[in-house]
Amino acid sequence: QQPVQSPQAVILREGEDAVINCSSSKALYSVHWYRQKHGEAPVFLMILLKGGEQKGHEKISASFNEKKQQSSLYLTASQLSYSGTYFCGTRTLARQLTFGSGTQLTVLP
Amino acid sequence: DGGITQSPKYLFRKEGQNVTLSCEQNLNHDAMYWYRQDPGQGLRLIYYSQIVNDFQKGDIAEGYSVSREKKESFPLTVTSAQKNPTAFYLCASTLDGDRIYGYTFGSGTRLTVV
């Protein structure tokens, strides 16, 4: 079953923060986050494993709430280069990675 | 540099034709995947392979076929049985079946029915 992402779209000004959420009805083993620019391949950002860890680098980080089967991606002090569509992918022990429908992020100058 | 090469970048198919999309990787990854992406939607899994000479159906395998004769190669054939093949097709690979490492994607093939 496909994870649910929210919001579907968000528009920011440079320097503003954003949060993208991903939730599943299944018990998750891991959560992936990817960013895709228009017409290009998705690029891997990070993976969060069962255990509720928070990961990140620079101004993009993520958390995984194992009890709620939810993950959130945090983008702080957004830059123009952050624009794109963000996908979460969720994996259970029984199923391969399943992607959400994406969140379109637009950062304006 | 290591990576995944998909070809062709654009492909046009006539009604009733079979076409094959190429995917080659030099990352020494065991697992390879094919995804379909429709406009404004997420990625849906067509087929995947975790080892040479073995592959499994994904969520939307009908009308598609694959082979995995070599570790480096995972071609996808879109058959005439696939009634709505126009889409962006992405090939991906991963080192450990995505248990710890993320996917590396190719640059995609855009298939259009004419």
Residue bearing tokens 């005439």: B80
pLDDT for the residue B2 = 76
Bridge partners (DSSP) of residue A33 are A46, A88
Burial class (CB in 10 A: 0-12, 13-18, 19+), B61: middle
* Chain-chain contact of B43 with A99 (C-beta, under 8 angstroms): yes
Rounded to whole angstroms, the Cα distance separating B65 from B41 reads: 22
Closest A-chain CA to B43: A99
Residues of chain B with C-beta less than 8 angstroms from the C-beta of A99:
35, 42-44
pLDDT digits (tens, 9 = 90+) for B54-69: 999 999 999 999 999 9
pLDDT for the residue B42 = 86
**If DSSP codes are grouped into helix, strand and coil, which group holds residue B61?**
coil
CA of A51 to nearest chain B CA: how many angstroms apart? 13
- Asked if residue A90 lies in contact with residue A28, where contact means CB atoms within 8 angstroms, the answer is yes
A18-53 as b/e, with b when 16 or more CB fall inside 10 Å? Answer: bebbbbbeeebbbbbbbbbeeeebbebbbbbbeeee
**If DSSP codes are grouped into helix, strand and coil, which group holds residue A80?**
helix
pLDDT for the residue A104 = 96
- Average pLDDT (B18-23) is 96
Task: Give the single-character DSSP code of A81.
Answer: G
**If DSSP codes are grouped into helix, strand and coil, which group holds residue B99?**
coil
- Asked if residue A26 lies in contact with residue A96, where contact means CB atoms within 8 angstroms, the answer is no
Helices in A8-73 by DSSP H: which ranges?
Answer: none
Closest A-chain CA to B6: A41
A6: nearest Cα among A76, A72, A79: A72
pLDDT exceeds 90 at position A109: yes
Cβ-based neighbour number of residue B78 at 10 Å: 24
CA of B105 to nearest chain A CA: how many angstroms apart? 6
Residues of chain B with C-beta less than 8 angstroms from the C-beta of A43:
105
Rounded to whole angstroms, the Cα distance separating A37 from B73 reads: 26
- Average pLDDT (B19-38) is 95
Residues of chain B with C-beta less than 8 angstroms from the C-beta of A38:
none
Please name the member of A2, A40, A44 whose beta carbon is closest to the beta carbon of B102. Answer: A44
pLDDT digits (tens, 9 = 90+) for A31-68: 999 999 988 889 999 999 877 666 666 789 999 988 89
Please name the member of B43, B58, B59 whose beta carbon is closest to the beta carbon of A87. Answer: B43
CA of B2 to nearest chain A CA: how many angstroms apart? 15
% of chain B with per-residue pLDDT over 90: 77
- Average pLDDT (B90-112) is 87
Distances (CA, A) of B103 to A42, B40, B91, B93, B113: 9, 21, 10, 6, 28
